[in-house]
Chains A and B, each alone.
Chain A
Amino acid sequence: MPRLSFAHGLGLAVIALAVLALILWVPQDTVSGYLLSKRGRVSIGDAMAPGLAFGLMALSGALIFLEARRAEAEIRLTARSIGFLLAILTICLLALGAMIWTGPLAVALFGGEGSYRNLRDTAPWKYLGFILGGTGLVAALIALVEHRLSLRAVGLGLVTVAVLIGVFDLAFDDLLLPPNGDQ
């Protein structure tokens, strides 16, 4: 028996995912089922469309499995690639975390009695998270890709953040920069 390749595995995984969704997710997470009968009138229920979509997914998995040998050369998912993705996601997570928490933390430490919710549309509090998180995101991603941290990258992040504040916050009264709409 020939060895199963990555593409074979992808095809099988897609089939397994689709079958699991058809057996577990669709029936348990829809109310009306595939067909709905109300006062003798039959109509299509909420499960029909997702059911067919997962059926199509299972079919696609079978086709990927059958086409596996031909498609093998195109798959470039390596451990190194996944490592890069994890690094990029960690940077995004930390930067967005800084964006969310810097403002409230600064208000708690230096804002006296007020809460961040009350100050979320007041300078400088409303900019703190965006400046730190946004600059950090740009600078860290540049550092990751260029394999070195440079002052120029930090400067570029600051300029980008300043332009975005000008374009969105200063130009429009009704727009809120992240994360102020959620606070």
Chain B
Amino acid sequence: MSEMLHYVWLGVLSVFQGPALLELGGIGLPLALVMLVAGLVTGIAVGATPGLAGPMAMAISLPLLISAFGFTPDALLPVFGFLIGIMKGATLGGAVPAILFNLPGTPDAMMTTLDGFPMAQAGQPRRALRIAQLSSVAGDTFSDIVLFICAPFLAVMVEAYLDLPEKTALLILSISFIAAVMGSSVGKGLLSVSLGLVVAFIAAGTDLSPRLTLGIDALQTGVPLIAAVLGVLIVGEIFATLERLWHDNHALDVKAASDGSAEDGLQPGDIRRIAPYVGRGAVIGAAIGALPGVGSTLAATLSYTMAARRARRNPAAQPFGTGAPEGIAATEAANSAVSGANLIPVLSLGIPGNAAAVFLILAADSIGGFNPGPAVFSMPEGAINPQLVTVFGIFTLMSVGNLLNWVVGGGVMRAMGVLAKIPATRLLPVVLLVSLTAIYVQETSMFAIWATLAFGVLGWAMRKLAVPVLPFVIAFILAGPIERSAREAFSASGADPWFLFSSPTSVILLLLAVVALIFLGREK
């Protein structure tokens, strides 16, 4: 235990005594903290702008960050600081246009419009924003605490009890689960997974001659990771939204609520009124967030529905949909509580569960020196595990981010309300050029741009055919680890074709994968 506390302390120091941006009166201004603040403001701005989203900002900023900080271990915390800041800020910012303009900045803020906009229309926009901020930050903080406690234990359990066949089975369970729960049908979820696997397997084998290249020279080193991920996730989304705007130029226009009245701002008794709803929303969000692939939109919907049902049973309660503070609180607490818990499978197992986690993995992969998975939590005797120090550095940054969101998040949210008025018809072409330039700068090859556009077309087509895109990205990232662990497990078992069924644990994990596909993927 004392050893663990020592690592916690080292993690805190790595943030506060890490590289400094500048010195003020002999005291260094920690770079990681500066980047966290910059990320938070960027995230709130992005969340508040309809048509943009946290992952989009993470995608654009990642090549810039890597260019600025390089590929050294010192780059990890500043880069993670910025990305975590965006992740936290975007969750908060999504509520701004939802409340002020009846237009969710992020998909998970859809339910916030139901009570947030009526409250703003009734002359209390500041009150609605304040309730959203308090609920969101409370949910996020709770979720982070769950992450801090669960991730190390999960990682230690996995390392202690799971051998190669079980780890392979666990990875298979993860992608099966993601295929089952995302999208409209299990068939389309599996199609997305299989496409991601196939693309990742191009030129990724162990033979001297790379596989599946179709004789194309540019594919000899495989598909650039950033091109596939950004193409499907970001460029595909830009194409699809541009098409929507092409049909209807005003699809993302805002309708302003009335200005604040004299009685605007948090009312006496509001906090006591929303506290139980925030608590329940936070638990729902954290529980759902811990499962890979299950998004914050589901958490928000579930929390809102349960809260509305509870309110209906109480005749004295304000009906939901009429500007009830409990409605805003239930939604915002739940959708924000997803983000911290979403990192549990990332840090402890190396399995990304959402788009933000994908970019954290991409950052770790690009910079090097930090490989999310059970090994980061190991504590070798007589030596310091730098990866574990980084993990506690990340936890420190998340805690500071929450503190900043508590203190100044509300002010930044109000200031960003104006961003919702930027027309998406002009914003998205700019985002496309910025994304393509950022990719080129990182890859220094026009092939990467052509590949990004090709994957953008794939992402657009998947959206048109209602095939979920996130399973593609997660399968693309997990394809290498699955194949590697299966090859090693097969060799270690002495070429036993039934190596995946060699232990009860792996059989249970595989059965769970089948159960997930059959039962979770039935009706949506």
A contact residues vs B (CB 8 Å cutoff): 10-11, 14, 18, 21, 25-26, 29-32, 41-47, 49-50, 53-54, 56-57, 59-67, 70-71, 74-77, 81, 84-85, 88-89, 92, 96, 100, 130, 134, 137-138, 141-142, 144-147, 152-153, 156-157, 160-161, 164, 167-168, 172, 174-179, 181-182
Contacts and interface: CB of A to CB of B under 8 A. Distances in A.
A14 B191 contact: yes
B457 A85 contact: yes
Interface string B185-229: 111111101110110010001111101111000000000000000
A112 B378 CA distance: 62
A168 B67 contact: yes
Contact of A145 (B245, B436, B465): B245
A89 B212 CA distance: 26
A77 B461 contact: yes
Nearest to B202: A50
Tell me what chain A mostly uses at the interface: helix, strand, loop, or mixed.
helix
A130 B446 CA distance: 12
Given A49-B483, A142-B429, A60 B188 contact: yes
Interface residues of B, number: 64
A11 B242 contact: no
Tell me what chain B mostly uses at the interface: helix, strand, loop, or mixed.
helix
B464 A160 contact: no
A57 B198 contact: yes
B5 interface: no
A81 B197 contact: no
Contacts of B453: 89, 92
Contacts of B415: none
Contacts of B502: none
B425 A47 contact: no
Nearest to A74: B466
A44 B490 CA distance: 7
A71 B246 contact: no
B445 A181 contact: yes
Contact of A42 (B193, B201, B495): B495
B67 A84 contact: no
Contacts of B383: none
B426 A60 contact: no
Nearest to B464: A77
A56 B436 contact: no
B515 to A, nearest CB: 16
A53 B194 contact: yes
Nearest to B64: A167
B261 interface: no
